[in-house]
Structure 1
Amino acid sequence: MVRVTGCPARYDDQLGYWIVDDPVLAREVLLDPQTFRPDNAVLAHTPLSVKALRVLSGVGFALPPTLANNAGESHRPIRAAVARFFSPARVAAAEPLTRELNAARVTAASKALADGHEVDLVQAIAAEPPALVVLHLLGLTNVDVPALKAWSLDSLELFWGWPDEDRQLELAHSAAEFYAWLRARTTAARKAPGDDLFGVLVGLGLTDEEVCAVGYFLLIAGQETTTQLISTAFQRYLDDPGTTVEQVLQEASSVPTWRRVTAHRTTLGTTDLPAGTPVLLGLTGHGGPADLAFGLGIHRCLGAGLARLETQVALDCARRLLTGVRLLEPPPMIDLLSFRAPKRLMVTSRPQAAGRH
């Protein structure tokens, strides 16, 4: 999106949102959740078809207010319970595992390149470590990571994409499968409470629907957005080896926008907005600070520190590999309302660097 100087908010007919790209105004919106509510944060951008809704209702799919879409009294205790999994001490303690996972994948990718193979840096390096690390932090075991990755991408497309009815139906089946898995984990936690994510949420007194809602988006946001941030960092490093994590967050974060809706008539800058106005905030790429990429206030991303750590570690581990490869094609993109990153980064060794891999 292009920032319009002197225009605090502009209506986009195609998207159906008032666009706020000014980082100062975006900050104001994020810090006033009573006026600019998060009620629409996880609603499907493209209205779901009857067929898709039937598939979801078949597994009792529901997303009551819990974290990102909650401005009520229940938000604080839920957030506090989840935040303990991402404390600075726990994140710091996860760094050795993060380095081990990345180093192993970089070694494997380097060998494949040395053997003359083409490598997709997204799948080879960026995809799985964030999932394995967040599952470790949340105390979750026996999770099919490839399935989690597929469920995550499908759910992002379902809720933030522009799928037609046929595609919606495919995505709804995937989301229903994910939700059924969450239901099973919740049921198991009720029978044998533990200290993992589901055990803690059950112990908090949440309903099954609330537990599943927290798990649904936490297990997506806790790893897939970091995979996408790492993928973007790799892409930008290939163009400019001086690229830093902070620059990526400031200029091209994997979560470039986020949604809010006005609770009542209000004024944003010099623009009057009636109650119920959907607003789309530009979080990155408009001259604001890197930290804005994670949001602000009571809904700031709980995994901000973890995402920074994992992206820095991934760059550190892959730096030598990245300087010795070249892209084979312009990368196809994940390009959704609030998520943007390369789908693939197909590379091969540069001829002059072939002997070093």
Structure 2
Amino acid sequence: MTDPTQDPRFLQDPYPTYAAMRSACPVQSVATGSGGRTGYLVTGYAEAREALAHPGLSKDTGVFFSGKESPRRLHPAVAHTMLAADPPRHTRLRRLVTAAFTTGAVTELRPFIARVTGELLDRWPVGERLDFMDALAVPLPVLVICELLGVPEDHRSDVRRWSGELFASGRPGLADAASHALAGHMTRLIAAKRLSPGHSLLDRLVAARDGDDRLSEEELVSFAVLLFVAGHETTTGLLGNALLALLRQPAQLDRLRRNADEVPAALDELLRFDSPVSTATFRFTTEAVTLGATEIPAGVPVLVALGAANRDPERFPSPDVLDLDRDAAAHLSFGHGIHRCVGAPLARAEAEIALRAVLTRFPGIRLAAPPEGLERRHTRLVRGLAALPVLV
């Protein structure tokens, strides 16, 4: 069948399409682009969870495109990140980065996150209209990940712009150029840190060791790019999607407004309800794989629709209802298995602090535009808002 994600209506609300596909068959063949290429789209929860951890599904794009003419010209540091690696290489890389990206590092960042959130909210004009994305959801995660990586202040607007261009749907030339600009910047930043070491996460990655093993220069650049992009894009989408969901559900919004201490517990349901990652990154079968009742031949791309899996009624009854009493901890928005998002604790900390502060300081916040007409970002991977007009 044709790729439903190319329909403009899908960007606004993909869930009816996902539900229809899942009802017909939770794993089915779809067109994946021009040139007659096809792959399989997974929309069922059980099948998605299995696919995310299946040893017969590889993420090594270098192997997939070996001997083929790749349609993209991404910089290797972007194309061959830890997300595009299989064990044992993935195991080694994740072990090294986890040694630097600890829970303690996130805990240490909480005062900084709270301070930046407060400073951004101080600029909000009470009683006036503003764009929540521009006023908080975009700058907060960018400032936090730049602080974490040690990106100088005068470089932050450039790296944010390049990161956004990486996800430009239908504009591969722009995304490819952005990948080279971002990788070049991170290469120069790493060189500067070697000359003058500091205390940032990137400095710790430069020094990270596991016995005699350490990250190569190419791996360092790759990690810097991955952590910057993944470290804010998901959180930006989470903040916008979560606030919009609450603004469209006054009873749920009022509940958190009256008891902001419930925000941390509500995050799983907000993540499940409208995942900031719509489709997981590229996988392909290394052998014939059976998911559910569907057999997928070897050498075929597989796209796992995390947002669809999170709305599977077989796993989450009444999935189209935002229910803050639901136990949604099993959602797949951060993935599953060995590739589960290493930055999930940071994203949760930022979302908790930001949403709690917004609801506490601006209890009268409300939508300033019809929700059906809100512009979504034109990207298959990330589900997020281009703008979210609110009155505060």
Whether TM exceeds 0.5 here: the answer is yes
Written as runs of structure 1 = structure 2, the 5 A alignment for 1:1-357 is: 1-3=17-19, 4-5=22-23, 7-13=25-31, 16-32=38-54, 34-40=55-61, 48=71, 53=73, 61-63=76-78, 65-109=80-124, 112-114=125-127, 116=128, 118-142=129-153, 144-157=155-168, 161-163=169-171, 168-192=172-196, 196-203=200-207, 204=209, 205-241=214-250, 242=252, 244-258=266-280, 259-284=282-307, 285-287=310-312, 289-290=328-329, 291-320=331-360, 321=362, 323-329=364-370, 330-349=373-392
Separation of aligned partners in 1, 2:187 and 2:158: 16
Separation of aligned partners in 2, 1:69 and 1:143: 31
Going from structure 1 to structure 2, the CA distance change for 1:238 and 1:172 (only over 3 Å counts) comes to same
Q: TM-score, normalised by structure 2?
A: 0.75
Report the number of matched residues. Answer: 326
Cα drift, residue 192 of structure 1: 4.8
Cα drift, residue 143 of structure 1: 5.9
What amino acid is the match of 1:37? S
Instruction: Output the aligned Cα RMSD.
Output: 2.7
Going from structure 1 to structure 2, the CA distance change for 1:200 and 1:75 (only over 3 Å counts) comes to farther
Preserved contact between residue 332 and residue 344 of structure 1 (Cα < 8 Å): yes
Stretch of structure 1 that moved more, 189-198 or 65-74: 189-198
Q: TM-score, normalised by structure 1?
A: 0.81
Cα drift, residue 341 of structure 1: 0.8
1:107-131 deviation line (CA, Å, top 9, x unaligned): 311xx243x4x31111111112212
Separation of aligned partners in 2, 1:196 and 1:77: 22
Structure 2 residue matching 1:10: 3-state secondary structure: strand
Structure 2 residue matching 1:334: 3-state secondary structure: coil
1:226-272 deviation line (CA, Å, top 9, x unaligned): 11111111211221241542222112111021132111112112211
Structure 1 residue matching 2:123: 3-state secondary structure: helix
Separation of aligned partners in 2, 1:299 and 1:180: 26
Preserved contact between residue 66 and residue 74 of structure 1 (Cα < 8 Å): no
Separation of aligned partners in 2, 1:2 and 1:71: 29
Gaps of 5+ in 1: 350-357
Preserved contact between residue 150 and residue 202 of structure 2 (Cα < 8 Å): no
Going from structure 1 to structure 2, the CA distance change for 1:324 and 1:72 (only over 3 Å counts) comes to closer
Gaps of 5+ in 2: 1-16, 254-265, 316-327
1:175-209 deviation line (CA, Å, top 9, x unaligned): 32212101112333444555544444444543332
Separation of aligned partners in 2, 1:193 and 1:98: 23
Structure 1 residue matching 2:144: 3-state secondary structure: helix
